[in-house]
Structure 1
Amino acid sequence: MANTPSVPETRPDGLSSGEFRAWIERSASLLGEAREGLNSENVYPVADGDTGTNVWSTVEAGRAALAGSTGGAGLPALFAQGALVGARGNSGVITSQIFAGIAAEFDSGLVAALCAARKKAWEAVVKPLPGTILTAISSAAEFAERCEKKNKVDVARAAWSGAHRAAIDSALNPPVPEAAGVIDAGAHALERILAALVEVLDPASAPLEGITFTPASVTACEGESDGEYEVMYLLASSDVEKVAKLRVDLDALGSSVLVVGDVPTWNVHVHTDAAGGAVDAGMKAGVVHRVRITTLTSFVASGTRRVITVANGPGLQEVLEASGVTVIAAFESRRVGVDEWIDAAEGAHEVLLLPHDKAGKSTADEALIVIREDGARAAVLPSRSPVQSLAAIALHDESKGFDAVLGEMTEAVAHARYATLAVARRPFLTFAGECAAGDVLGLINGDVCVVGKDLAQAACDTATLMLGEGGDLLTIVIGEGGGLALAEAVSATAQSVNPHVEVSIINGGQAWYPLLLGVE
């Protein structure tokens, strides 16, 4: 019995699932061959020489998602999701959105799919500019629409011609002046992807004549960066309003902002001087994971790396200093001054600042400007509690490069939920209900979640709420008004919630807060 063709195959410009898979295979091959040439053309948005690698890696991530599938109709969507999750760099994220558009209209034929790809790509970029991969996909879709013969071979060839023309034109009409005379690497990469489609549909045409690579000059690559760091991470969030706000927040922090995907998985990209702030913004929108931070500015480091944090109790100071970091003692919950951060960083060539509260984050951000002006590579991590600092410090590895350590420690902060047990000094209304002066408050990630009369009960309730969201390690830091008996009661409650949880108890000695809790 003959196989019934899928819906796309019944249209003159429709692709079969087999043709789509072959297109991806050929795209990966052509991009792999062109990778170094594309890297040499990388000027915009920052001349970091990785556009070819990023687009190729993104396509490879989507290709890997297809590896275990033998299905037909869902292949484009499966590829698009794999590309989204594995996207690398600005051009890689946009490429993932081009394929998301193709997947959305795959059954409607190649013309409709390319038009959807154009729409999806342009919507992804907060501040789009011409002369880029965006112009190339627009030109490809326009040429496909204008193609008189609506069969898939002619439509594919028309789309390739449009991208080919746009890529060449990008050297004459660049997104930024310093890119004049250089083919845009992202546009050129899309030309290679569409060339792969033509070669699959019309093998006799292979290989299509490509565009000669135009390596950027040293002068072009010396343009000012649009941020010290490229920050990328995946975000798990079902709150589209918070995701929309994240786009706005990131736009205020940097440039080349991309927040793409759909509920519940989003890919986030930004160029910024505030790597920690970019991750912190994501933490307010959902759960951040797979953090990757890359330095975009040229920097030659030699000498020491210094991790600097704050201890608000003598016991915490002892534990932190034993881990080999520089500690600013801020007992009695006093605010850490800007000069203290600067003084602690003096003489270091690489500096990582780990605040212990919101006020400390503010002064660390101010100090960061001076520390960088003094010639150090530096970043502020988005920590808000000593327990987050402890989680990050545990991953610090002197043998690893700055970018790798910054990414790993930042992700550790993002994954460490924190809580503070405090006593209300006055009555007020909280999200957990009304509280009176003297009531015990359990604040999780800064929000009041528990109000009670008994310290032990409030502490146990807070730990139960935290572990209800998962976690294998509970850190308990005993402070003024706490005690070992209280910590052990919380530990027992935690193990009743999760028998496999590991509990670490530290006598921190911090004022005002009987307990600090951390869950990883």
Structure 2
Amino acid sequence: MPPTLDADAVRTWCALALDALGRSREEIDAINVYPVADGDTGTNLYLTVESATRAVDAVFEGHATTGPASRPDLAEAVRAMAHGALIGARGNSGTILAQLLRGMAEVLVPAGDTDHRPGGPGPDDAALLRRALRRAVESAYEGVARPVEGTVLTVASAAAEAAATTAGDGAAVARAAHEGARTALEATPRQLEVLGRAGVVDAGGKGLVEVLGALAAALAGGEPAPGAAPGARPAVTPHSWQSEGCPADLGDAAAGGDPAFEVIYLLEADDAAVARLRTRLDALGESLVVVGGDGLWNVHVHVDDAGAAVEAGVEAGRPYRIRITHFAAADQERVREPAQRAVVAVVPGAGLAALCEQAGATVVAVRPGEPPAAGELLQAVRRAHAREVVLLPNDADLRHTAAAAAEQARSEGVRVALIPTRSPVQGIAALAVHESGRRFDEDVVAMTAAAGATRYAELVVAERQSWTMAGVCQAGDVLGLIDGDVAVIGAELARTAETVLDRMLAAGGEMVTLVLGAEVPDAVAERLQRHVRDGHLAVDTLVYRGEQQSARLLIGIE
């Protein structure tokens, strides 16, 4: 029997969609001419689905810690998928996809549902899926200020209509939705003039076809959906505008008549404030998409005045994770000659980011509690625009994520060396010896050696009572972690840091690096400098204000 529409099917759907978008990302980027010919729709959709996939995986991993028999239900998986897509949505098409998933979630997990399924497998799955796809389309149109036909919205509508007239089980409905979307995609060049002139189908619609093909495959037992073979080309041959330069007849989107900036942010606000925000942003720019609900929204707009768009969000509520892209700068980035070598570094604070940028690195900023996904690291590698890239994850928990990003970048022709730095202080040590003028292998060896010779520690505040290698800690205690393990438990930051320094310097050292967190006063650094100077002769100390939120203090010993 085909799989039931349950949590496992949702997880499989996410995984297959991510895989499909990974294979087709470059092709979708290459046909992206509407609403702005910025060549990133495939990448944005991939990052959006990657965020959804990570959220679903986290739900399964959370249940795994409670026992082997514990499994999430459909409600948990669908909520996680929709929320993950919302907070990770990128670009116009990614934001619309997030709203499509949210609309489906409204049906698959109705308010007040306790059993999370109105019935058993089979016909109920089909009825649920028909209603979910219809609600997804309604929700997406509600989120777009000025809907345009011949886009992802049209493709989504066709999918829902095909599903509504199809009998059979959930797998049959999903297949019909996929086929309806593929047929609608082929017609988009005849519906939207800019697509017809460029000789391409809609990029966002092409991405949605991949996502619906993954759904059909998930409900068919994980087999590839009919017609969704890897690398399949759209019905209209894409114009090679990315490599030859954008053709002159693409219209305003290609000729500079569109707004200069893309502004995206998450917003915490109530419905009334968001309604006022829509009106204001609609007057400021175009391609406005505001999606979400229940107090959390994803806002996307193209404007000439990026500051005004952000200020409007401030007036409406609390905007965060603000991303502003200058379209002209992005175009110049794509056409400029790649550099020979670059360094990409993951950093947890504004001060550390500035320090690494001054050293010439391309920075991936880490938000508290939100580790970067492989797609974000891959984007940074692309943004570095170099033939050779040294990747510094600066966190032991990011080794697999960084490895996945490096592998993908290598498949795109970039020579990537991943140095397994486990702390930002190891990344600082590696950057300090980086020399772009020497051979790549020699540079990597020198940076790796410098990072490996740097022992690291961090001081954090315990959030709850727990067992550690140093004993039982209470909420509010200061924990000193040396090389990732709790070694000291104290009541006060400076005194605990002194103990950590003494333990580390007992094994020798010539240089101490202190990186201060966001709320740590300079007096703490001065006290620790005196402590090192008085107790450890011939040991120098460097102090940086990292402004990181995760650790009060980072320590490196070389």
TM-score range, shorter chain: 0.5 to 0.7
Whether 1:151 aligns to 2:172 is: no
- How far apart are residue 215 of structure 1 and its match? 2.6
Equivalent residues of 1:129, 1:175 under 8 A apart: no
* SS of residue in 1 equivalent to 2:265: strand
Distance in 2 of aligned mates of 1:396 and 1:282 = 30
Distance in 1 of aligned mates of 2:33 and 2:359 = 28
Distance in 2 of aligned mates of 1:282 and 1:15 = 38
Distance in 1 of aligned mates of 2:187 and 2:196 = 15
Q: For residues 66-465 of structure 1, what are the structure 2 equivalents within 5 Å?
A: 66-70=56-60, 71-73=72-74, 74-106=76-108, 107=117, 109-147=128-166, 149-174=167-192, 176=194, 180-203=198-221, 206=224, 208-210=226-228, 211-213=232-234, 214-216=237-239, 217=241, 218-219=246-247, 220=250, 222-238=254-270, 240-297=271-328, 399=358
Distance in 2 of aligned mates of 1:280 and 1:192 = 36
Equivalent residues of 2:33, 2:195 under 8 A apart: no
Equivalent residues of 2:52, 2:80 under 8 A apart: yes
Equivalent residues of 1:13, 1:150 under 8 A apart: no
Distance in 2 of aligned mates of 1:134 and 1:76 = 21
After superposition, the C-alpha distances for 1:12-53 in whole angstroms (9 at most, x for unaligned) are 996122111111110000010000000001010100000000
1:23–1:204 distance in 2 versus 1, CA, 3 Å: closer
- How far apart are residue 224 of structure 1 and its match? 3.5
TM-score under structure 1 normalisation? 0.55
What letter is aligned with 1:222?
A
Distance in 2 of aligned mates of 1:301 and 1:14 = 48
Equivalent residues of 1:293, 1:404 under 8 A apart: no
Name the counterpart of 1:507: none
Q: For residues 38-77 of structure 1, what are the structure 2 equivalents within 5 Å?
A: 38-70=28-60, 71-73=72-74, 74-77=76-79
Distance in 2 of aligned mates of 1:299 and 1:63 = 27
1:56–1:62 distance in 2 versus 1, CA, 3 Å: same
Equivalent residues of 1:15, 1:109 under 8 A apart: no
- How far apart are residue 208 of structure 1 and its match? 2.9
1:172–1:399 distance in 2 versus 1, CA, 3 Å: farther
* SS of residue in 2 equivalent to 1:215: coil
* SS of residue in 1 equivalent to 2:290: strand
What letter is aligned with 2:213?
A
Distance in 2 of aligned mates of 1:170 and 1:99 = 22
Distance in 1 of aligned mates of 2:359 and 2:304 = 21
Distance in 1 of aligned mates of 2:520 and 2:104 = 45
Distance in 1 of aligned mates of 2:221 and 2:86 = 29
1:35–1:236 distance in 2 versus 1, CA, 3 Å: same
* SS of residue in 2 equivalent to 1:172: helix
1:66–1:288 distance in 2 versus 1, CA, 3 Å: same
Distance in 1 of aligned mates of 2:221 and 2:143 = 33
Equivalent residues of 1:225, 1:297 under 8 A apart: no
* SS of residue in 2 equivalent to 1:250: helix
Distance in 1 of aligned mates of 2:272 and 2:156 = 28
What letter is aligned with 2:165?
R
- How far apart are residue 59 of structure 1 and its match? 0.5
1:19–1:299 distance in 2 versus 1, CA, 3 Å: closer
After superposition, the C-alpha distances for 1:398-426 in whole angstroms (9 at most, x for unaligned) are 7599x999xx9xxxxxxxxxxxxxxxxxx
What letter is aligned with 2:293?
D
* SS of residue in 1 equivalent to 2:297: strand
After superposition, the C-alpha distances for 1:488-511 in whole angstroms (9 at most, x for unaligned) are xxxxxxxxxxxx79699xxxxxxx
- How far apart are residue 180 of structure 1 and its match? 4.9
1:20–1:128 distance in 2 versus 1, CA, 3 Å: same
What letter is aligned with 2:152?
I
Equivalent residues of 1:172, 1:181 under 8 A apart: no
Q: Which runs of 5+ in 1 are unaligned?
A: 1-8, 303-390, 409-499, 505-519
Equivalent residues of 2:3, 2:219 under 8 A apart: no
What letter is aligned with 1:132?
T
1:395–1:231 distance in 2 versus 1, CA, 3 Å: farther
Distance in 1 of aligned mates of 2:261 and 2:83 = 26
Distance in 2 of aligned mates of 1:57 and 1:250 = 25
After superposition, the C-alpha distances for 1:161-199 in whole angstroms (9 at most, x for unaligned) are 111011111122226466552110000111111111222
Equivalent residues of 1:229, 1:271 under 8 A apart: yes
After superposition, the C-alpha distances for 1:416-448 in whole angstroms (9 at most, x for unaligned) are xxxxxxxxxxxxxxxxxxxxxxxxxxxxxxxxx
* SS of residue in 2 equivalent to 1:232: strand
- How far apart are residue 291 of structure 1 and its match? 0.7
1:206–1:397 distance in 2 versus 1, CA, 3 Å: closer
1:301–1:14 distance in 2 versus 1, CA, 3 Å: closer
1:111–1:249 distance in 2 versus 1, CA, 3 Å: same
* SS of residue in 2 equivalent to 1:100: helix
1:25–1:225 distance in 2 versus 1, CA, 3 Å: farther
Distance in 1 of aligned mates of 2:97 and 2:238 = 22
Equivalent residues of 2:267, 2:318 under 8 A apart: yes
- How far apart are residue 209 of structure 1 and its match? 2.1
Distance in 1 of aligned mates of 2:255 and 2:221 = 42
Equivalent residues of 1:13, 1:110 under 8 A apart: no
* SS of residue in 2 equivalent to 1:292: strand
Distance in 2 of aligned mates of 1:300 and 1:171 = 24
Aligned equivalent of 2:19, options 7, 14, 29 = 29
Distance in 1 of aligned mates of 2:330 and 2:97 = 29
Equivalent residues of 1:172, 1:180 under 8 A apart: no
Distance in 2 of aligned mates of 1:117 and 1:177 = 25
Name the counterpart of 1:6: none
1:136–1:13 distance in 2 versus 1, CA, 3 Å: farther
Aligned equivalent of 2:5, options 15, 40, 49 = 15
1:292–1:30 distance in 2 versus 1, CA, 3 Å: same
Which is worse superposed, 12-21 or 161-170?
A: 12-21
Distance in 1 of aligned mates of 2:128 and 2:520 = 53
TM-score under structure 2 normalisation? 0.51
Equivalent residues of 1:133, 1:190 under 8 A apart: yes
Identity of aligned residues (%): 40
